[in-house]
Amino acid sequence: MPELLQTAEQAQRAGLTFTFISGNHREATLAYMEEFHITQPVYFAPLPENQTFYTIGLLNTPFYCYVDAQGIVRSAGYPSQAWQPWQQLTDFGMRPDEVAHAPAPLRSEA
């Protein structure tokens, strides 16, 4: 979590919005937010009754999805420095069009 929070702060400085989606219930999520001092937006999508994770294809957490200003998914996957699209995204020196596209985008560019 500390690495994701650091990345969220870097994203904010670069003008990007970093948002979390929690599969836990509200009370558990609020406690987690307090414990880790999370100030970024957090959406509640408690499993299993909320279908958000299934709808957008989240199989494991943590998981990230980079959506550009046009609402197009540009990259998605597990946030690991070993994965090139995540490295490019966290570099923040990359333009959005330089970030590798997700293998199976949730919304096509057409």
The pLDDT profile of the chain, 110 residues, written as one tens digit per residue, is 777 888 788 777 777 777 888 888 899 999 999 999 998 888 888 888 888 878 877 767 777 777 777 887 777 777 777 767 677 777 765 555 554 443 433 333 43
pLDDT (tens digit per residue) in 69-94: 788 777 777 777 776 767 777 776 55
The per-residue pLDDT for 15 is 76
CA distance 61 to 4: 12
Give me the CATH topology for the region 2-98.
Answer: Glutaredoxin (3.40.30)
**Domain regions of the chain by residue span:** 2-98
Nearest to 67 by CA among 11, 13, 22: 11
